[in-house]
Structure 1
Amino acid sequence: MKNKITIIGAGNVGATAAHWALSRRLGNIVLLDVMEGIPQGKALDLWQAGPLDGYAGTVIGSNDYADSADSDVVIITAGLARKPGMSRDDLLAKNVAIVKSCAEQAARYSPNCFMIVVTNPIDAMVYTAFKASGLPKHRIIGMAGVLDSARYRTFLAQALGVAPADVSALVMGIHGDKMLPLVRLANVAGVPISDLLPAEKIAEIVHRTQHGGGEIVNHLKTGSAFYTPGLAAIEMAEAVLTDSRRVMPCAAYLNGEFGIAGCFLGVPVVLGEQGVERILEFQLTDDERQALSESVEAVRKQMEETGL
């Protein structure tokens, strides 16, 4: 039996995620949205690409959560997108209600699903979905670090003139300006970036990574990034559906790891068929721990503002 993936929200991120999922042959897709006609039209368009791309999965557009029943993975992308001048936090009040409704209904029809939250601000929204869905903590995560680390690796590769695939780098913490792109662990084929780039260039890349989403929003004017966020969510879904035990930075629920408990935060996790198989905890420097604590403070403030 083919895997079933439901993507809630048929905007740019959701439709792009559906495209990536189909191109990777991950299973049948349900594209769900409250707007009548939008998911149906986009799903039909995607489905008709099958003869050209070679996939054989089905793509259904729907406004009814009943069509999402028994999904293996549910990806929530629904919500308002940023516009120039807005921070991710500016979206919190409106998106709490949207994500809460999506998570409740998705879990009602797919109580055994693995849930990925993409809606901003991600760390608060995955907490919202966790409280609303009733899913166990190992079966719900936020998409943040995969996207942020991809941006970090891209900027490093550009500065070094190397293939991005050969750059290994990790971003932890909140999906926001206080995220922590780890310099100490970033390397190219094992060679530390601190041996290859001057400190001022590394600092410039770290700052650009922290503000990478805003850079795209300022260019687009009317929306935010969608190609890489969509793929990042599908990378995570694929790791679960194929039980590949990939190590990815995701917003996972912490229960004492890194000295933090009771919130979702971007950390490296092992993803397999059980969801979050484990969190990879390692020793942080004093500066890294301080930076991570600032992320935690910001996330807890967001959590309070959700009212949950």
Structure 2
Amino acid sequence: MYSRALRPCLITFQVHGRHFSSTKQNNRRVTVIGAAGGIGQPLSLLLKQSDAITNLNLYDIVKHTPGVACDISHMNFPAKVTGFTGPDQLKDALRDAEVVIIPAGVPRKPGMTRDDLFNTNASVVRDVALAAAEVCPKALVGIITNPVNSCVPIYCEVMKKAGKLDPNRIFGISTLDLVRASAFIGQAKGLNPKTVNCPVVGGHSGVTIVPLISQCQPAVSFPQPELEKLTKRIQEAGTEVVQAKAGAGSATLSMAFAGARFAFALIRALNGESNVIECAYVMSDVQGTKYFASPLLIGRNGIEKNLGLGKLSDYEQQLVKAAIPELKANVATGEKFVK
């Protein structure tokens, strides 16, 4: 059921070209929260290269954030880049934003789980939501901050308390799982990974990451032992990067790429492009977990339709079943933090 739907997820990044987006409109205001960090800087650089963005606001708590904005502003692309720093400037950075991307927070280090990041990063997401509820409640928001499975519920609960919740506008960016699935499947099958599209559902950590390889385009198949090994690699790819960097950080560059891809999808939807479809972790009743990642049809006002999971293989049904308890616990942790 996804043959037509998921193809629009594929985008081409033209690093030396004039733009990343095919849209002819150039009137979008985008804010990056955490713009001076390991994800935020390359993400901001990618966003600057889009002709579809008029204003790009870069916010972080560190003092050199205006310097990052100044540096990126020297690139010969149209978007006006402005830097903001410190809690006192958070609302100004967010004011009237149409798209907000949040990679803010501390990164994972060797031995850390996403849950270990919770106390620090939960406060970051709460504070951004409080400010956004006041100055840009209608923005389409993409949350990268880990643990995504808990941080998206935090953002939604804060907006609910403020009387500004529209769950169709709030997304947990799980795009990196799709990017990794495409890369790994392409490598395994000798395919150009840009032509591979595999939906990934569930959540954005460990066993909650469920690649639907049976729905991959082009169609691929693996012997069961190889399928299980590939699935585990997709689920644990973040740890693979953390270990490979040997204490120097987590996935930043690939996450920036994935975050930019999702931001451009939101902008294309805002500009009226039809059939914009991406997987994301959102408030959902698909599996009775309150939040769940699945393919979504996105329009001017956010989610137009949750496309669900489609037909699952027996193995994928087992993976979804294993993900449910973890997801429910993650969601409960996020909601408890706000209460």
Q: Secondary structure at the residue paired with 1:168?
A: coil
CA distance in 1, matches of 2:248, 2:299: 36
2:239 maps to 214
Q: Indicate which of 329, 334, 337 corresponds to 1:301.
A: 329
Deviation at 1:250, TM superposition (A): 0.3
CA distance in 1, matches of 2:252, 2:52: 19
CA distance in 1, matches of 2:315, 2:223: 19
Alignment of 1:48-59 (within 5 A): 48-50=74-76, 55-59=77-81
Deviation at 1:198, TM superposition (A): 3.5
Aligned Cα root-mean-square deviation (Å): 1.7
1:284 maps to 312
CA distance in 2, matches of 1:204, 1:295: 17
Residue pair 1:174, 1:296 contacting (<8 A) in 2 also? no
Gaps of 5+ in 1: none
CA distance in 1, matches of 2:60, 2:75: 21
CA distance in 1, matches of 2:253, 2:133: 26
Query: 1:294–1:203: structure 2 CA closer, same or farther, 3 Å change rule?
Result: closer
2:33 maps to 8
1:167 paired to 2:167: no
Query: 1:67–1:183: structure 2 CA closer, same or farther, 3 Å change rule?
Result: closer
Gaps of 5+ in 2: 1-25
TM-score of the aligned structures, taking structure 2 as reference length: 0.82
Q: Which runs of 4+ in 1 moved over 4 A?
A: none
Q: Indicate which of 50, 66, 71 corresponds to 1:40.
A: 66
2:280 maps to 250
Letter in 2 for 1:155: F
2:230 maps to 205
Deviation at 1:286, TM superposition (A): 4.9
Sequence identity of aligned pairs in percent? Answer: 27
TM-score of the aligned structures, taking structure 1 as reference length: 0.90
Residue pair 1:265, 1:296 contacting (<8 A) in 2 also? no
Deviations 1:118-171 (A, max 9, x none): 001112111111111333010001001x21011011011111112112212111
1:88 paired to 2:114: yes
Alignment of 1:88-107 (within 5 A): 88-107=114-133
Letter in 1 for 2:243: N
Q: Secondary structure at the residue paired with 1:222?
A: coil
Deviation at 1:303, TM superposition (A): 2.4
Q: Indicate which of 30, 35, 47 corresponds to 2:57.
A: 30
Q: Indicate which of 186, 201, 210 corresponds to 2:216.
A: 186
Residue pair 1:269, 1:277 contacting (<8 A) in 2 also? yes
Residue pair 2:109, 2:250 contacting (<8 A) in 1 also? yes
Alignment of 1:224-235 (within 5 A): 224-235=250-261
Letter in 2 for 1:217: V
Deviation at 1:30, TM superposition (A): 0.5
1:267 maps to 294
Deviations 1:37-60 (A, max 9, x none): x2111111111122xxxx111111
Residue pair 2:214, 2:312 contacting (<8 A) in 1 also? no
CA distance in 2, matches of 1:166, 1:102: 36
Deviation at 1:280, TM superposition (A): 0.5
2:20 maps to none
Query: 1:199–1:290: structure 2 CA closer, same or farther, 3 Å change rule?
Result: closer
Name the count of aligned residue pairs: 294
Deviation at 1:271, TM superposition (A): 1.7
Query: 1:292–1:177: structure 2 CA closer, same or farther, 3 Å change rule?
Result: same
Deviation at 1:75, TM superposition (A): 1.0
